[in-house]
Structure 1
Amino acid sequence: MSHIKRVHRKKVNRNVGDRPGVFVISADALKPVIHVYSYNEKEVVIDKGHDIKIVLAQLKKCKDHTHWIQIQGLGDANLINDIGEHLNINPLVLEDIVNTHQRPKFDEYDDYVFSVSRQLFISDGGELHNKQFSALVKSNLIISFEETYIKTFDVVKTRLQAGKGVIRAAGPGYLCYALSDVIIDNYFVLLAKIGDDLDDLEDRLYKHADKTIMYDAQQLKRSLIALRRVTWPERDKLNDILRTDNPYVTAEVKMYLRDAYDHCIQVMDMIENYKEISNSVIDLYLSMVSNRMNEIMKVLTIISAIFIPLTFVAGIYGMNFAKVDPVSNKAMPDNMPELYSPHGYYWALAGMSVIALIQVVIFWKKGWFTKL
């Protein structure tokens, strides 16, 4: 996993005042790739395509199966409209699927439920991306919508093909839980990366501190904030699902959802802990910079304190008030008698050195040098 360098900012793809239920396909949206997994306790039938025809053919061929339709890429408005038409999906739901800035939520309708989660991953360039995952769950059908082609759910596909556990028999509600659980587990992976980066920052702080530490710590803090914005509504969404009486969320599924809810709480606790560590790293670096500045100022203060009396002595003898007038050779009262003393220059230097030495001894006894 790459080092986190920045957090990707997503533009809201809608116009102010648009009619509810209207969606606009983003210019950079990927063309959809559709995988259909029809499964029961005996087998898994897999097909792949790019339009609604592959979905309808699979549903017709495997009538006694549960179907998972995985759509990766939302760059086809006709496909979204066809799904809404064939499955009688509310236009507001279709809008939420395409306008991918939704917060995690769980909505119930007459014959289906709608769930939204957020996928976080780090690109090869070190950019933290926040993508939307949406799912529609009906009686024997789940349709998932993803913005990218990343292979987040390969582990679920492996379990589905292996047929171990209850994944083939527990219905589409359980599969929706399994996909959401993978998303939450990836939060742990991301937090493990952030934790390693924080450990590296602390090592750099103690060994060789520089200003890049503060910048990297701030970037990690921004990543944690982005993760916090995801996990808090995800927890609320799971809580809503646990409280619902909808038949698509069975008692067996709720048992597993409680485990996912606990994982979400753990993620939130880790986020808060890491935020405190990142704040501590920044504060400690600023304290070290401040202490270093104080040490420098202390050295300069000691040097200044030593030279102040020397400068005072030199200033007095630089006034040049002669004892004898060099023109009239007349004695001048109350002027400097030392100006014409034999070896006066050397005596002055010796006196100044003694003063400096006395100051150094006093500063040393006070412990100023040992605390630098």
Structure 2
Amino acid sequence: MDTEVGGPFFARVFGSNGPPRELSEAEISSCRVAEHELLWIDLHGPDEAMLDQLWDCCRLPGNARRFLDGGSTPAVENEGDFFWTRAVAITSEQGGELLSGAVVVCIAGKNRVITWHTEEVDFIRELRCRTHGAAIGLLTSESFVATLLDRQLAGYFSAVNDFECAVEHLEADMSVNAVDKNIHELQRLRRWASRMRRMLAPHRALFGAMSRPDFRPSEDRQAERHFVALDTRFERAMDMIENARELVIGSFELFSGQVALRTDGTMRVLTFVTVVAGVLATFVGALGMNFQAGVFESKDVGFWSVVGGLLLFSAAVTVFARRRRWF
């Protein structure tokens, strides 16, 4: 038996009164869930034997079992008193990747919900750690699945918030960072935004189907309201991710402006140096003309005097240009 938090098997019965009670694998087959109770079974990377036992004990549909190996595309199916969903939740950053996702399957029947995932999922771990569950015990299986999917969407909202913070840090440091570093960070943010959109956009089929009136026509309108609100929250998440992509475009325009300013400053310096060098060349060229002058009879003293004068002229012009903010 393995009922610890994070283990492959976790089962808990939530009631409207009193604390929830945990069940072992052996107790599942004899468990009777009352009208105002909710059984939640969470499977974290279970083996085939555990799945076989659970499907036999809970009499789950065979199509739901095949749904576990159906890939990572979000989807929903409905059969009799059961329905099951597949969603992709954002997991903690791993291996240097910007974002990683974990497939979460929810199978819901009357007063019971089974969740299945092969990777650690933060919001499921938090629910496992909760020692009270009176509020959960008041929920139907449809409402509990809606709660799980809402927490799954909350992971995308959190990722968008982290993304916006990264954009702010980039824009604040853009003027002092090297050009190559800014380009690398912009590329990373662009991949980050695209990854979030690719992970969330396929959920439109899932949430759209669940919000339709014919999804669970036999249930009360409360479940339908939950699913409609879930679809609205999904659309908000999509809008935020689209806005995140716009933020990257705005940051690139800011970066282009910074590069243009740096280029303009460099061109000013080069223009100033060219003008000063041209003036000095004119002086030296004048001294090289074929005529007799007293300065040519001063030998080394005259030479070093001319060199010093040229240097003094260059320094004076440079100070003047800096005060006038020419560069």
**Can you give the 5+ residue segments of structure 2 that lack an aligned partner in the other structure?**
1-5
| Preserved CA contact (<8 Å) 2:9 2:44 | yes
1:244-290 alpha-carbon deviations (Å, 9 max, x no partner):
42247642012122322232222222222222223322332343234
Taking the aligned partners of 2:218 and 2:104, their CA distance within structure 1 comes to 19
- In structure 2, do the counterparts of structure 1 residues 59 and 79 end up closer, same or farther at CA, with 3 Å as the change threshold? closer
Report what 1:47 is aligned to.
23
| 2:137 paired residue among 168, 171, 179 | 168
Taking the aligned partners of 1:124 and 1:96, their CA distance within structure 2 comes to 26
Of stretches 255-264 and 124-133 in structure 1, the one that deviates more from structure 2 is 124-133
Report what 1:224 is aligned to.
193
Q: Are residues 1:343 and 2:305 paired?
A: no
Q: Are residues 1:71 and 2:43 paired?
A: yes
Report what 2:325 is aligned to.
370
Give 1:178 deviation, angstroms: 1.0
Report what 1:270 is aligned to.
240
Give the match's secondary structure for 1:106.
strand
Amino acid in structure 1 at the alignment position of 2:261: N
Taking the aligned partners of 1:184 and 1:160, their CA distance within structure 2 comes to 24
The CA RMSD measured in Å over matched residues stands at: 3.7
| Preserved CA contact (<8 Å) 1:96 1:102 | no
Amino acid in structure 2 at the alignment position of 1:45: R
**Can you give the 5+ residue segments of structure 1 that lack an aligned partner in the other structure?**
1-30, 319-335
1:23-61 alpha-carbon deviations (Å, 9 max, x no partner):
xxxxxxxx961111234444533124xxxx53xx32423
Amino acid in structure 2 at the alignment position of 1:227: M
| Preserved CA contact (<8 Å) 2:38 2:139 | no
Identity of aligned residues (%): 16
Relative to its length, the structure with more helix (as a share) is 2
Taking the aligned partners of 2:48 and 2:249, their CA distance within structure 1 comes to 45
Give TM-score, length-normalised by structure 1.
0.68
Q: How does 1:203-352 map to 2 (within 5 A)?
A: 203-206=172-175, 208-210=176-178, 211-245=180-214, 246-247=216-217, 250-308=220-278, 310-311=280-281, 314=284, 337-338=290-291, 340-344=292-296
Give the match's secondary structure for 1:343.
helix
Amino acid in structure 1 at the alignment position of 2:84: F
Taking the aligned partners of 2:279 and 2:144, their CA distance within structure 1 comes to 84
Of stretches 140-149 and 177-186 in structure 1, the one that deviates more from structure 2 is 140-149
| 2:160 paired residue among 174, 180, 191 | 191
Give 1:102 deviation, angstroms: 1.4
Report what 1:35 is aligned to.
10
Amino acid in structure 2 at the alignment position of 1:138: G
- In structure 2, do the counterparts of structure 1 residues 47 and 303 end up closer, same or farther at CA, with 3 Å as the change threshold? same
| Preserved CA contact (<8 Å) 2:190 2:248 | yes
Amino acid in structure 1 at the alignment position of 2:21: V
Of stretches 238-247 and 177-186 in structure 1, the one that deviates more from structure 2 is 238-247
Report what 1:139 is aligned to.
110
Give 1:228 deviation, angstroms: 1.7
Give the match's secondary structure for 1:135.
strand
Taking the aligned partners of 2:294 and 2:240, their CA distance within structure 1 comes to 80
Taking the aligned partners of 2:166 and 2:32, their CA distance within structure 1 comes to 48
Amino acid in structure 1 at the alignment position of 2:44: Q
Q: Are residues 1:115 and 2:70 paired?
A: no
Report what 1:130 is aligned to.
101
Report what 1:323 is aligned to.
none
Give TM-score, length-normalised by structure 2.
0.76
Give the match's secondary structure for 2:272.
helix
1:189-213 alpha-carbon deviations (Å, 9 max, x no partner):
222222223222222235x333434
Give 1:306 deviation, angstroms: 2.6
- Structure 1 runs of 4+ aligned residues shifted over 4 Å read 81-86, 124-127, 154-160, 312-318, 344-350
Report what 2:74 is aligned to.
104
Taking the aligned partners of 1:161 and 1:255, their CA distance within structure 2 comes to 25
